[in-house]
Chains A and B, each alone.
Chain A
């Protein structure tokens, strides 16, 4: 017989300390707090990315808005602003498309670089923020409001 067998059996029945009753609750709270902190940190970073992107592409929008004639009637101004907004979106999409298809050619122009970089950062920020909100951690927002 293995001389360590009695020890083996005794070890199998070794009494152990029990955790305090509130430990599971404390663990849940800890995990909740860490999740919330991480969510807000991520959203903060995404906000910084979006703000940086908007700041970098702002010259493009300034040029577009400067072309609006402010002396016209309400309806014509509304139409004009809509056109500017659509042009802005179109420019944005166009920059994303050009960035994806012709990155090499864009490098030559510093101005396009800045706007292109802005568009890239803005797109990244928006995508990350959307991804974050769609993921499971987004539900923590509700919890954060409740607590």
Chain B
């Protein structure tokens, strides 16, 4: 169910006033979109579902402080990312660990096979994204599944804008390399 911005804002306003039905309409409308983003970032479906439940609970509690002029999905995604970061922290997956999993140098030379990606490799690409370290998977999910701008990703992940650009670029290079290797 796709909500217009006006309806979204109306439901949020009603939910802020304590209307539980309005909040549940928001849950039903935004769960699929949020799931697509969170599932891409998380280890498995169970973790994604747990994160989504907790996200909506936190949103309910934070609704009185919600700024009405922003879109709801980026707001949900920001909370979900924070929860995921807590999960990673608990499982002792740190940013440094994530980077150790990435080769220092990624071959940047263009490959002719890349021209065929759009037609042939979406399945391979999905698998390649799943193999990415969590941090890179997160920026990819926020950029392409949630459709966030670089600024939006920076805000959601609490990172400087240039760092986001770098991560995204490295993630794409890692994907490119992975796709090339799968072709060989």
Q: A residues near B, CB below 8 A? A: 3-4, 6-19, 23-24, 26-28, 30-32, 34-35, 135-137, 139-140, 143
Q: List the A residue with the shortest CB-CB distance to B48.
A: A19
Query: B52, A27: Cβ atoms under 8 Å?
Result: yes
User: Is B126 at the interface (CB under 8 A from chain A)?
Assistant: yes
- Chain B nearest CB from A89 CB (Å) reads 32
Set B18, B28, B125, B176: member contacting A4, Cβ < 8 A: B176
Interface-side segment among B66-74, B82-90, B116-124: B116-124
Query: A27, B36: Cβ atoms under 8 Å?
Result: no
For chains A and B in complex, what number of residue pairs have CB atoms within 8 angstroms? 100
- Chain A nearest CB from B177 CB (Å) reads 11
B interface secondary structure, majority: helix
Query: A19, B122: Cβ atoms under 8 Å?
Result: no
- Write out the residue numbers on chain B whose beta carbons fall within 8 Å of the beta carbon of A135: 18
Q: Show 23 A/B contacts (Cβ-Cβ < 8 Å), sorted by A.
A: A3-B110, A4-B173, A6-B114, A7-B125, A10-B118, A11-B129, A11-B172, A11-B175, A13-B122, A15-B122, A16-B36, A18-B36, A19-B52, A23-B35, A23-B49, A24-B28, A24-B31, A26-B49, A27-B52, A27-B53, A32-B20, A136-B18, A140-B20
Q: Give per-residue flags for B122-157: 1 if the beta carbon is below 8 A from chain A beta carbons, else 0.
A: 110110010000000000100111000000000000
Query: B122, A14: Cβ atoms under 8 Å?
Result: yes
- Chain A nearest CB from B131 CB (Å) reads 14
User: Is B10 at the interface (CB under 8 A from chain A)?
Assistant: no
Q: List the A residue with the shortest CB-CB distance to B121.
A: A10
- Write out the residue numbers on chain B whose beta carbons fall within 8 Å of the beta carbon of A31: 23, 27, 53, 56-57, 60
- Write out the residue numbers on chain B whose beta carbons fall within 8 Å of the beta carbon of A10: 117-118, 121-122, 125
The number of chain B residues touching the other chain, given as a range, is 35 or more
User: Is B160 at the interface (CB under 8 A from chain A)?
Assistant: no
Set A24, A34, A143: member contacting B27, Cβ < 8 A: A24
- Write out the residue numbers on chain A whose beta carbons fall within 8 Å of the beta carbon of B179: 7
Q: B residues near A, CB below 8 A? A: 17-18, 20, 23-24, 27-28, 31-32, 35-36, 39-40, 45, 49, 52-53, 56-57, 60, 108, 110, 114-115, 117-118, 121-123, 125-126, 129, 140, 143-145, 169, 172-173, 175-176, 179
- Chain B nearest CB from A29 CB (Å) reads 9
Query: A7, B117: Cβ atoms under 8 Å?
Result: yes
Q: Give Cα A26–Cα B27 distance, bound, in whole angstroms.
A: 10
Known: A15-B123, A140-B20, A143-B20. 11 other contacts (CB 8 A): A7-B176, A9-B118, A11-B125, A11-B143, A17-B35, A17-B36, A19-B31, A19-B49, A27-B53, A30-B53, A35-B60
- Chain A nearest CB from B159 CB (Å) reads 20
Greatest chain B CB density within 10 A among A12, A18, A31, A140 is at A31
